A and B are shown apart, each in its own frame.
Chain A
């Protein structure tokens, strides 16, 4: 890269404080069919660094599609999705994958832990596709597991852990690479109420430490407990409580 383009880029890229963690502008997502199904209809939302946001809506409201588009797992039909200042629309698969590897952390309802490997190895997978050397991956994974309170479960197999512990492993994996934001899709969906509360406490703690987190949920009670709520219905944003002042 030449010095000239470097300079040009520095000029056009806003400084971190101004740059949103996630910025969706006029996003439309249609699925083919007759007539086509419009799952997202002109959605615009901006999530800044340090926020803790709930995207809440009943099933079929389009929140899953929103998760997929936010997480760059799916491309919008039209509109702009900016991740940490980078417009993803024109990026090829390789760079989109790079954005997921470096900028986004995922937490899924089904955990998606690999039973064939230990807890710590599952967490190192969060750094695998950034080309981080194994020793560093290992150290950072241990650190992340300590952060979620599982420093004593490093070498356990996931299937030997409780549901709440498994989800905490998944959270550790989602933040081990220090992403711009963590997308948590129904993170308490498979947990009992006690574990759910613990996982939500953990999410709030991590946010207090500075991690940007977006929780996608159908559960109003969970959403109500979070500082900002974006309500979705029929592919549109029904209500955005906005960033608390």
Chain B
């Protein structure tokens, strides 16, 4: 064709499309805000849930998922809630079992001193354990030493769980510290850190099994046996344990996996994540409607400019592209700001929780892409209206 054509260079489409947002900065910021809130919510929710989940999973892998707890269940004939005395030793003979540790109940109360009434137990219990307990549970000693250091001592000594220490008012062991267990004063030689996989031990004061039997007439029948199993053989071993622990009444033995609780917690957080993602998507949608609204107003307000551009030689397509570019730019601005805000929020909150920050790439990438799509969709109708405006009508304003 030899006829003159109207041409708008690609760089000029961007220049023209950004002229509106640049000329009205506060309106641009406000109209992009809705989308940025939505994107920030999506990125933040994904980042926080992944970070907290990774924190749980880190903890899990540190503690191991190969710990089983064997407890005496309620017997059919009203069983006494204890496993046979030989349970731990029998379980230890299963080839895939790495380590066992048992806890026996002691019928005595623990108090700070003899002057405290015996009825005030503070919810604390006394148990007898072997020296491997902390090891089996991947626990650690906060202050002092573990029970096994005193295995050969003729005197009973105690180690206190983290909550028990707090309730008994023990903060350090710089001075020799004693607690009243039953009628005896017993020296505290260690304070333990929190057991994530056996929270009830945090509220216990532990003494050696021999001492428990000798001094408090405790039965040597364990209430709980903790079993550390070879990694990868947990399920197979689990099936064997009940019968091994109590061959006569295997149905009275409960075998559980404490790490399942943490896994369930992680799964539960995932379902919350879906809820918040849904809310973020709603915010994003509202933001998109906001952009569409602002664009429709812009088209009405700028009829004169549209008419002028048509008079200067813009085709309908040029006008359409201009307004579409403008609305996509709003989406990009909102999306970009939202991604940055979402990441900052994730870092800030993770820092307060001491979590390792994990931001799944789908958050920022998907969020940004959807912001662009939303900008384009929101601008489609206003851009068509702008393009369809006849130049004569547009210039009449």
Listed in ascending order, the chain A residues whose CB lies under 8 Å from chain B are: 1, 5-6, 9, 68, 71, 73-74, 86, 91, 93-95, 97-104, 106, 108, 110, 112, 114-117, 125-126, 128-131, 133-134, 173
Are A112 and B5 in contact, with the CB atoms below 8 A? no
Given contacts A128-B12, A131-B7, contact A9 B2 (CB under 8 A): yes
Are A129 and B314 in contact, with the CB atoms below 8 A? yes
Are A112 and B308 in contact, with the CB atoms below 8 A? yes
Q: How far is the CB of B229 from chain A (nearest CB, A)?
A: 72
Name 14 interchain pairs, CB-CB below 8 A, sorted by A: A73-B395, A74-B392, A86-B4, A95-B1, A97-B313, A98-B313, A112-B305, A114-B19, A117-B19, A128-B312, A128-B313, A129-B7, A129-B309, A129-B315
* In the complex, chain B residues whose CB is within 8 Å of the CB of A110: 304
| A1 and B4 alpha carbons, distance in the complex (Å) | 14
Given contacts A73-B310, A126-B312, A130-B313, contact A101 B2 (CB under 8 A): no
* In the complex, chain A residues whose CB is within 8 Å of the CB of B310: 73, 97, 100
Are A1 and B395 in contact, with the CB atoms below 8 A? no
Are B22 and A1 in contact, with the CB atoms below 8 A? no
Are B23 and A117 in contact, with the CB atoms below 8 A? yes
Are B315 and A106 in contact, with the CB atoms below 8 A? no
The reply on B120 being an interface residue by CB < 8 A is: no
Q: Which residues of chain B in 1-30 are interfacial with respect to chain A, using CB atoms and an 8 Å cutoff?
A: 1-9, 11-12, 15-16, 19-20, 22-24
CB-based A-B contact count at 8 angstroms: 115
Given contacts A112-B305, A116-B22, A134-B11, contact A100 B311 (CB under 8 A): yes
Given pairs A5-B2, A102-B313, 18 additional interface contacts (CB within 8 A): A1-B1, A86-B4, A93-B315, A94-B315, A94-B317, A98-B3, A98-B5, A98-B6, A98-B7, A100-B312, A103-B4, A106-B308, A106-B312, A112-B304, A114-B19, A116-B19, A129-B8, A130-B7
Which residue on B lies nearest to A100, using beta carbons?
A: B313
* In the complex, chain B residues whose CB is within 8 Å of the CB of A134: 11-12, 15
* In the complex, chain B residues whose CB is within 8 Å of the CB of A100: 6, 310-313
Interface centre among B304, B305, B318, B395 (most CB of A within 10 A): B395
| A115 and B23 alpha carbons, distance in the complex (Å) | 8
Are A101 and B23 in contact, with the CB atoms below 8 A? no
Give a binary string over B293-318; 1 marks a CB under 8 Å from any A CB, 0 the rest. Answer: 00000000000110111111111111
Q: How far is the CB of A41 from chain B (nearest CB, A)?
A: 19
| A65 and B392 alpha carbons, distance in the complex (Å) | 9
Interface centre among B304, B313, B318, B391 (most CB of A within 10 A): B313
Q: Which of A68, A93, A102, A133 contacts B4 (CB 8 A)?
A: A102
Q: How far is the CB of A79 from chain B (nearest CB, A)?
A: 17
| A5 and B4 alpha carbons, distance in the complex (Å) | 16
Interface centre among A94, A95, A99 (most CB of B within 10 A): A94
Given contacts A112-B304, A128-B12, contact A95 B311 (CB under 8 A): no
